[in-house]
């Protein structure tokens, strides 16, 4: 691999552009050029730069919202996972098959590998998906 060293002054100088090359198949290059035309880019380089700019941008509002939702879900799940009755069922059936019946009378069974299998069986005994 032939890699040329980039002068550190070039990196710190905002707006200085350098040429970057990579080897890709002709069909991929044609695809990218077509995408650039569709997006209204003046050049292939402009198109690639817009992709890189979009890739590097962080969306703080969206990121913070997702973090908050994630924390709320973690708290909710920790409450479910800490439920003694669910834990007892899980412990009793771990590695075994749990048989149950849906409200429509359909008999089912599930191999209990994790707590979510127990929850699925319990939900399906009281909630008819149809």
Q: Structural domain tally of the chain?
A: 2
Euclidean distance between CA atoms 125 and 107, whole angstroms? 10
Model confidence band, residue 1 (pLDDT cutoffs 50, 70, 90):
very low
The answer to whether position 3 is within a domain reads: no
Does residue 95 sit in the same domain as residue 129?
yes
Domain range for 27 is 16-56
The answer to whether position 22 is within a domain reads: yes
Report the SS3 class of residue 42: coil
Does residue 52 sit in the same domain as residue 87?
no
The answer to whether position 8 is within a domain reads: no
Does residue 50 sit in the same domain as residue 92?
no
The answer to whether position 11 is within a domain reads: no
- The pLDDT tens digits for 28-86 are 888 888 888 898 888 888 888 888 887 766 666 777 888 899 999 988 888 888 889 99
34 membership: H or E segment, kind and range: helix 26-38
User: What are the strands, taking DSSP E only, across 26-121?
Assistant: 97-101, 107-111
| Rounded to 5°, angle at Cα 66 from 72 and 80 | 25
């Amino acid at each position: 691999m032939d890699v040329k060293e980039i002068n550190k002054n070039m990196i710190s100088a905002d707006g200085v552009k350098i040429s970057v090359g990579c080897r890709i198949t002709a069909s991929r290059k044609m695809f990218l050029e077509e995408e650039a035309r569709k997006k209204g880019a003046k050049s292939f380089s402009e198109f690639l730069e817009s992709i890189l700019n979009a890739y590097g941008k962080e969306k703080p509002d969206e990121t913070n919202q997702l973090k908050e939702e994630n924390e709320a879900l973690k708290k909710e799940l920790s409450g479910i996972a800490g439920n003694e009755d669910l834990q007892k069922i899980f412990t009793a059936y771990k590695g075994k098959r749990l048989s149950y019946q849906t409200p429509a009378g359909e008999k089912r069974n599930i191999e209990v590998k994790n707590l979510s299998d127990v929850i699925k069986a319990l939900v399906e005994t009281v909630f008819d998906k149809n």
